[in-house]
Amino acid sequence: MNTKIRSSQREIMDDFELQGKELKKTLEDLDKVNKWLGGNKVTLEGVEKVLKSACYAQPVSIMDVGCGNGSLLKEVAEYGRKNGIKMRLLGIDANHHAVELARKNTIDFPEITFQALDIFSEQFRAQKVDLILCNLTLHHFTDAEIKQILRNFVKNAMMGIVINDLHRTRIAYYLFKAFCTVFIDNEIARKDGLTSILRSFKKKDLIEYGRDLNVRDQMITWKWAFRYQWILLK
């Protein structure tokens, strides 16, 4: 098991036709992992930092790329409601089955809508929002694809981008493996979680991806549990 370079192994969740009970259970288990390990908190902190760094008109438009079942956007919506910030939230996912689950999961949040979109499509590139969130999604792509995605994000977002993704390290790999033996009984979540770590990043990778992007500032911060919070301000 080598963490010096990013793995190119595909994850089961990369199959955009994954659906039904299998998809629903996997997304729910991934939600549990994020909740227990504080993953979504990293993104919410990033949202708060961006909003505090800029003047903006309400409602604030926020797009979550790779939204899964929409659970992160529910937390963003709750943050907006709690702080008196009107929001217009859009979830994007290439798996239209996940999008249908997300719509059912957020039925009490009229400020959230969803679209099934390929992020390399012209339709996606035409999207304009204040803030883009990319939560545990970037590692699914190759280095070349990531550089193109980031260039598109910079054009899409008016205020900034918040990326939350994994730190590629042996310690994270073995700790997650131990965590799964106790708390996760879903084979897809276990296998994909380990593959995700091997496909994820070291800080030098993020610095390289961020070179030559047309942004005014970038902040890369290590967070527990083995996450990087990467904020790009326009």
- Provide the domain count of the chain: 1
How confident is the model over 199-225, as pLDDT tens digits?
Answer: 999 999 999 999 999 999 999 999 999
Q: What is the CATH number of the domain that holds 102?
A: 3.40.50.150
Task: Give residue 21's pLDDT.
Answer: 76
C-alpha separations of 14 from 55, 136, 196, 222, 224 in Å: 37, 13, 11, 26, 25
| Residues of the chain scoring pLDDT < 70 | 15-16, 18-19
C-alpha separations of 28 from 5, 33, 212 in Å: 30, 9, 37
Q: Is residue 64 part of a domain?
A: yes
Of 231, 233, 211, nearest in space to 220 by CA: 231
Task: Give residue 187's pLDDT.
Answer: 84
Q: Are 213 and 232 in contact (CB under 8 A)?
A: yes
Q: Is residue 181 part of a domain?
A: no
Task: Give residue 169's pLDDT.
Answer: 97
DSSP letter, residue 10: P
Q: Is residue 186 part of a domain?
A: no
What's the alpha-carbon Rg for the chain, to the nearest Å? 17
Distance CA 56, CA 225 (A): 31
Whole-model pTM: value is 0.94
Distance CA 58, CA 20 (A): 37
Task: Give residue 129's pLDDT.
Answer: 98
The whole domain housing 80 covers 31-166+204-233
Q: Is residue 60 part of a domain?
A: yes
Task: Give residue 18's pLDDT.
Answer: 65
| DSSP character string of 135-184 | ES-GGGS-HHHHHHHHHHHHHHEEEEEEEEEEB--HHHHHHHHHHHHHH-
Distance CA 214, CA 229 (A): 19
Task: Give residue 190's pLDDT.
Answer: 87
Q: Is residue 185 part of a domain?
A: no
Burial of 202 (0-12, 13-18, 19+ CB in 10 A): middle
Q: Is residue 11 part of a domain?
A: no
